[in-house]
């Protein structure tokens, strides 16, 4: 059993700032699922086209991450964070002024190029500033941005979208992100200890990191984590409205309750990940997710309360496995490789997610904008198979990290 060390006041400031960036980036990304039914109906697009909207962000983020990996360890990580956060703000603004399917895809590409890399930069900062016994707690606090986006961000955004139009939530995100950007400039110190380490030329460094066999199992495990999420997530609101039978006005309440539970479970998952074997925490939460996915994708028309309970169960599994998985991933690379590793890892995650969203769009069928989604149960079976494979892959990561720490 491992004991976590005390966090310094400055470390707490860094956690807060990274959590705020995570909140805005995650909210921008997560909005696409709850807005999905509105977008499909207002833009008059098909589920397959909506899959393209979702995947355009992910694929752009993946390509951007590979490019970023070639120079991520050459710069102060604070400056890198600021540059990509500024690009994310621009992309989100473009989403707000979109008026067609084609322009929205373009805006999501811009947002993905910049926003999709921010998580990997944040993870590199965490790996540089926090010890292995602190990272589980730190990851849980950073991921609380995910929970807050559901407790406050998504319900408020859906209320605004239902009251005005689907574009307004993006303007809200831009306003908040500008404030966070300015606070980072003022309060975060440079993160450049890694610059003192001897390293290879940029592109060579990236390829050497990618070819490192000890790192590759981590890359594959991360890809499988992403595959499962992107297969189902984009269709959540459309499934709830058209298959389960709840109304658009009930969606904010569902996301708020699920977000509250997520917010509560993440610190607990972080503490458990630091105190106990991270793989065991991951495996147990994965089994919980398997059970909840099978229930969720087979639901008949049920009450809002029952749908919320199933979503809560599923989200508990998702978040409780994400935290130990990310903590293990951050422990794989050496310090000199962390920026490149995190960028490549994020790229593969996003690319896998983009492919999964496209596949999901091909599998899911909707005869017209008011009809139920068909073949949603098939997505559930695919997700379960991916989760089971991912348990084995994460066990391999756990073995490597354990042997590395012992050495």
pLDDT at residue 117, as a whole number:
82
pLDDT at 111: 95
Residue 399 lies in a domain: yes
Do the Cβ atoms of 50 and 153 come closer than 8 Å? no
Instruction: Specify the number of domains making up the chain.
Output: 1
238 occurs within a structural domain: yes
Closest to 239 measured CA to CA, from 55, 37, 379, 42? 37
- The pLDDT score that the predictor gives to residue 145 is 66
Q: Are the beta carbons of 154 and 255 closer than 8 angstroms?
A: yes
Residues (pLDDT < 50) of the chain are 1-4
Give the per-residue pLDDT at 3: 44
Q: What angle do CA 250, 254, 258 make, to 5 degrees?
A: 170
Tokens encoding 280: 């065991």
- For residue 12, what pLDDT is reported? 84
Q: How many helices (H) and strands (E) does the chain have?
A: 16, 0
Distance CA 18, CA 184 (A): 9
Q: Which domain CATH number covers 47?
A: 1.20.1250.20
> Which structural domain range is residue 23 located in?
9-188+210-406
371-387 core/surface letters (b: 16 or more CB in 10 A; e: else): ebbeebeebbebbbebb
User: Would 127 be classed as within a structural domain?
Assistant: yes
Residue 260 lies in a domain: yes
pLDDT of residue 150: 66
Helix axes 101-129, 304-330, angle to 10 degrees: 50
Note whether residue 200 is domain-resident: no
Closest CA to 108 of 234, 14, 204, 281: 234
Q: Is residue 220 part of a domain?
A: yes
Contacts 24+ apart (CB under 8 A), 302-309: 302/244, 304/246, 304/250, 304/253, 304/254, 307/240, 307/244, 307/246, 307/254, 308/253, 308/254, 308/257, 308/258
Alpha-carbon Rg for the chain, nearest whole angstrom, is: 20
Eight-class DSSP state of 350: H
Q: Report if residue 1 sits inside a domain.
A: no
| Cα 37–Cα 315–Cα 12 angle in degrees, nearest 5 | 110
198 belongs to a structural domain = no
pLDDT recorded at residue 194:
64
């Amino acid at each position: 059993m491992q004991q976590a060390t005390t966090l310094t006041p400055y470390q707490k400031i860094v956690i807060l700032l990274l959590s705020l960036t995570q909140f805005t980036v995650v909210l921008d990304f997560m909005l696409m699922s709850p807005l999905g039914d509105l977008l499909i109906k207002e833009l008059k697009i098909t589920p397959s086209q909506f899959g393209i909207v979702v995947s355009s962000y992910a694929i752009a983020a993946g390509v951007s991450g590979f490019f970023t990996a070639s120079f991520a360890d050459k710069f102060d990580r604070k400056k890198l964070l600021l540059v990509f956060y500024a690009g994310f703000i621009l992309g989100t603004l473009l989403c707000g002024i979109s008026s067609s399917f084609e322009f929205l895809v373009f805006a999501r590409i811009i947002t993905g190029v910049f926003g999709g890399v921010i998580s990997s930069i944040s993870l590199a900062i965490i790996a540089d500033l926090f010890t292995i016994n602190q990272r589980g707690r730190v990851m849980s606090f950073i991921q609380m941005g995910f929970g807050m986006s559901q407790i406050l961000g998504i319900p408020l955004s859906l209320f605004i979208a239902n009251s005005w139009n689907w574009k307004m939530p993006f303007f809200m995100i831009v306003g908040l992100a500008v404030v966070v950007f300015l606070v980072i400039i003022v309060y975060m110190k440079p993160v450049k200890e890694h610059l003192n380490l001897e390293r290879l030329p940029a592109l060579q460094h990236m390829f050497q990191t990618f070819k490192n066999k000890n790192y590759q199992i981590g890359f594959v495990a991360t890809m499988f984590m992403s595959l499962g999420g992107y297969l189902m997530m984009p269709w959540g609101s459309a499934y709830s409205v058209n298959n389960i039978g709840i109304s658009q006005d009930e969606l904010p309440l569902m996301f708020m309750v699920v977000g509250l539970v997520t917010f509560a479970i993440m610190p607990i998952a972080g503490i458990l990940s630091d105190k106990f074997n991270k793989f065991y925490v991951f495996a147990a939460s994965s089994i919980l997710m398997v059970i909840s996915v099978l229930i969720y994708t087979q639901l008949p028309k049920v009450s809002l309360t029952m749908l919320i309970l199933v979503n809560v169960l599923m989200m508990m599994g998702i978040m409780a496995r994400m935290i130990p998985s990310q903590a293990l991933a951050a422990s794989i690379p050496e310090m000199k490789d962390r920026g490149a590793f995190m960028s490549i890892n994020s790229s593969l995650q996003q690319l896998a997610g983009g492919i999964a969203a496209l596949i999901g769009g091909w599998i899911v069928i909707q005869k017209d904008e008011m009809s139920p989604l068909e073949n949603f149960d098939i997505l559930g079976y695919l997700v379960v198979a991916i989760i089971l494979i991912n348990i084995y892959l994460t066990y391999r990561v756990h073995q490597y990290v354990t042997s590395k720490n012992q050495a």
